Amino acid sequence: MATSEAEKGRFEGPVLGTPGDFPDRPQRRGRFVVHGVIAILCAVFAGGWGYVMWAAKGDTEVIDQVVAFDANRPDSVQILFEIVKPSDRAARCRLRAMDVDHREVGSRLVDIPAGKGYVRLTERLETSAQATSGDVEYCHLV
């Protein structure tokens, strides 16, 4: 008596069958269109997220950096900071002092005139309580 391939324990071919084994299965014709729509949506979302991140950075024409601050006095903080900007434009920066609970205890606007591209300034900022830090909140061209 002859034994079949299945009885021998060996079966050559796909375990779940081939498309010809299932004639009533619908054809998948829209697969390319679905993948294309998903790719376009991903590109739109990635572009939108990139724009949000770029816009959140603000005006990148002015670069500010705090070099040091001295918060030893109970009524003021001294801030040493640098500004890099186009030399033909003026800038306005907002300095602020924060206390131990990260509450603002002092702030002031500082105008930097046109004429120099790199400016290093030391400013004393009056505070309403003991400050623990001083920083440049923002700088914009005016």
CATH number at residue 104: 2.60.40
Residues 126 and 104 in one domain: yes
Residue 42 lies in a domain: yes
Domain count, the chain: 2
d(CA 130, CA 76): 7
Residues 55 and 69 in one domain: no
Residue 4 lies in a domain: no
- Chain-centroid distance, C-alpha 129: 33
Close Cβ partners of 78 (under 8 Å, ≥ 6 residues apart)? 69, 70, 122, 123, 124, 125, 134
* Count of C-beta atoms within a 10 Å radius of residue 26: 6
pLDDT tens per residue, range 80-103: 999 999 989 899 999 999 999 999
Q: What is the pTM of this model?
A: 0.58
Domain of residue 117 covers 63-141
pLDDT tens per residue, range 8-31: 666 676 677 776 777 776 666 677
Residue 23 lies in a domain: no
How are beta strands 91-98 and 118-126 bridged, if at all? Answer: unpaired
Residues 54 and 67 in one domain: no
The residue among 43, 59, 75 that closes a domain is 59
Residue 78 lies in a domain: yes
Residue 3 lies in a domain: no
The residue among 19, 42, 59 that closes a domain is 59
